[in-house]
């Protein structure tokens, strides 16, 4: 499935961050930098990763988290929030918000546990 023009547009305006890529996922796209997902595009809407470090900015813009309904009818909110139109329209602001979203994703990455058997001397 080819990427949408909107996703290509998002990748283009985020290009000052370096290599930013998109991978198809669940009917949308994950937005990655250095292999770390920091945004998603769902139904032509951009969402950035949010944690305690940047949540207040999203709340101040009356943004809301991406949510979906499970097969069982439960509503699940994710830690990716809608990027406000005012931010999308100003490339410098968008880059700043993207950097903060990337930092939030880096903070959320848990170190991988080593697997395998311990070697005994």
List phi, psi (to 5°) of 93: -65, -40
Neighbours of 27 (CB within 10 A): 9
Pairing of strands 20-25, 28-33: antiparallel
Mean pLDDT of 83-111: 92
Mean pLDDT for all residues in the chain: 90
Chain segment 46-94, per-residue pLDDT in tens:
999 999 999 999 999 999 999 999 999 999 999 999 999 999 999 999 9
Strand partners, 42: 45
Query: What's the pLDDT at 121?
Result: 46
- Say if residue 100's pLDDT is above 60: yes
H/E stretch holding 38: strand 36-42
| Domains of the chain, earliest start first | 5-108 (3.30.1460.30)
């Amino acid at each position: 499935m080819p990427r949408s023009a909107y996703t290509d547009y998002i990748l283009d305006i985020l290009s000052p961050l370096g290599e930013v890529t998109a991978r198809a996922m669940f009917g949308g796209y994950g937005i990655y930098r250095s292999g770390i997902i920091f945004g998603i595009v769902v139904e032509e809407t951009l969402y950035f990763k949010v944690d305690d470090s940047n949540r207040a900015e999203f709340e101040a813009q009356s943004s809301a988290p991406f949510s979906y309904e499970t097969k069982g009818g439960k509503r699940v909110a994710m830690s990716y929030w809608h990027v406000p139109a005012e931010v999308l329209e100003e490339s410098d602001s968008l880059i700043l918000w993207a950097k903060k979203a990337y930092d939030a994703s880096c903070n959320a990455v848990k170190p991988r546990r080593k697997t395998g058997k311990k070697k005994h001397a």
